[in-house]
Every structure is written in structure tokens, then in C-alpha cells.
């Protein structure tokens, strides 16, 4: 769901994710001093399931992925691949959960959390795309309140006879709070990335692989 770096690019500052869960063996990070670093061509840090990822605006855990059956809109059982996340909004204002971005349509200001899930492999194709929402004591929500840890579900409907993947790998972006431009000094949360000749290319801040378990609905 993201474009490969190409052409001549104008680099934007990269907020290095501070994740205690980074599997550091063999993977280098340009700088972990807590400030900004230049974007590197090194592979992104790999983070274990359930470990914390600092995305700047959010603190996120990718908890699990499950192949399960659940009641559909009309009460009939449907099969889903469900990703379970725990997300805390670290900003001062309520923000939306949003939808996963479409391929090659990732903007620098998604204005929601789900815009930072840059890519999932393998790609699960559904007619209307995945359903993404938060849940609080069984009540659906599309919002993330400041300082509140919220369970977020990403649900891909599967055909009854489809073969679910054994695991899914997600590329995750991060946000930085900075002015929109030289003329507009208003600060916004923006995805870290590069502006190249063809548009915005987000930087992958972390990569997480979730094994897919089979659960009874």
C-alpha cells in the first residue's frame, strides 16, 4: 500500500520510534537519541507481536491476528481475518480511527490513526475493504480519546472456503508534529516521509509480523 522511493527526493525529518520491543539483533537504527534523524535506507526495525511501538502521535501494540467466525450484519455467521490492536492517543485532541489507506494514495496528513498502517502482506482483497473501529465494553467507536488506551479491530471478510494466511506482516508509519510549510507555521500531526517527484512516500518506522491463529466464533 505504499510506493517505493524513487526519483530525487526532498527529505523530511524522521521521528525514530522508541520501542522497547525492537528486536535489535542485526538491525541498526541510525539514531536513538530521542530526537530527529535522517531517513535511512536500512530495513525498518522489526517489532514482536504485543510489544509497544512509539508512533509519535500514538502508542500502539499489534496484539494478534485471528481467523474467526462472527455474526454478520443480519445475524448470519461470517468468516473474518481480525487484527487486534491496542492504541493510545498521545495527542491533546480527539482523533479519528479512520480507514486503511488505498495503494498509492497515502498522504502526509491522513488525519487519523489507520492512515499509518501503510501496507499489509499478503494483501487481503475484499469488496468494500476492511472494517476498522474501536471497541469499548462492546460499544463500537470511530474515535480515539487523548490518553485512553482503546482496542482497535481491523476486520477483513473472508470467503467460507478461502485459505487464510499463516501470518501477516504490517509496515507501520510514524507521525511528527511540525509546521505544514514555510508559509503556514500551524503545527499538524504529519506522517514521516519524503516528498519525491511523484508525490509523498511514507517512511516505514517499524515492521511487525503476526501469526494467524484459528479461533472459534
Tens-place pLDDT, residues 66-79: 999 988 777 788 99
Predicted confidence band of residue 147 (pLDDT cuts 50, 70, 90): very high
Highest mean pLDDT among 126-140, 155-169, 195-209: 155-169
Q: How far is CA 177 from CA 36, 68, 104, 170, 211, in A?
A: 12, 38, 23, 23, 33
CA distance 29 to 86: 25
CA distance 142 to 206: 24
> Among 47-56, 84-93, 191-200, where is mean pLDDT lowest?
191-200
Predicted confidence band of residue 32 (pLDDT cuts 50, 70, 90): very low
Predicted confidence band of residue 20 (pLDDT cuts 50, 70, 90): very low
| β-bridge partners, 207 | 46, 171
Summary mean pLDDT of the chain: 81
The whole-model pTM stands at 0.79
Does a cis peptide bond (omega within 30 degrees of 0) precede residue 122? Answer: yes
Predicted confidence band of residue 103 (pLDDT cuts 50, 70, 90): low
CB 56 within 8 A of CB 15: yes
Average pLDDT score over residue span 106-132: 90
DSSP codes joined into one string, 1-41: --PPP-SS-EE--EE----TTB--TT---S--SSSEE---S
pLDDT at 137 over 90: no
CA distance 95 to 32: 28
Give residues with Cβ within 8 angstroms of 67, minimum separation 6: 79, 80, 81, 158, 164, 212, 213, 214, 215
206: number of CA atoms within 13 Å, CB side? 30
Amino acid at each position: 500500500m505504499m510506493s517505493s522511493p524513487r526519483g530525487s527526493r526532498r527529505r523530511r525529518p524522521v521521528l525514530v520510534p522508541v520501542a522497547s520491543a525492537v528486536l535489535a539483533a542485526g538491525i541498526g537504527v541510525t539514531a536513538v537519541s530521542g530526537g530527529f534523524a535522517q531517513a535511512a535506507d536500512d530495513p525498518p526495525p522489526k517489532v514482536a507481536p504485543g510489544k509497544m511501538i512509539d508512533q509519535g502521535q500514538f502508542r500502539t501494540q499489534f496484539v494478534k491476528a485471528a481467523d474467526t467466525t462472527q455474526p454478520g450484519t443480519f445475524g448470519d455467521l461470517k468468516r473474518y481475518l481480525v487484527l487486534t490492536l491496542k492504541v493510545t492517543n498521545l495527542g491533546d485532541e480527539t482523533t479519528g480511527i479512520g480507514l486503511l489507506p488505498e495503494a498509492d494514495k497515502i498522504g502526509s496528513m491522513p488525519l487519523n490513526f489507520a492512515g499509518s498502517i501503510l501496507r499489509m502482506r499478503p494483501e487481503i482483497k475484499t469488496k468494500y475493504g476492511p472494517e476498522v473501529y474501536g471497541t469499548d465494553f462492546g460499544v463500537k467507536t470511530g474515535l480515539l480519546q487523548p490518553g485512553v488506551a482503546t482496542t482497535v479491530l481491523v476486520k477483513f471478510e473472508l470467503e467460507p472456503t478461502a485459505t487464510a494466511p499463516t501470518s501477516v506482516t504490517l509496515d507501520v508509519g510514524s507521525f511528527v508534529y511540525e509546521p505544514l510549510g514555510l508559509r503556514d507555521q500551524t503545527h499538524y500531526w504529519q506522517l514521516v516521509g519524503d516528498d519525491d517527484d511523484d508525490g509523498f512516500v511514507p517512511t516505514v518506522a517499524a515492521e511487525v509480523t503476526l501469526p494467524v491463529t484459528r479461533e472459534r466464533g
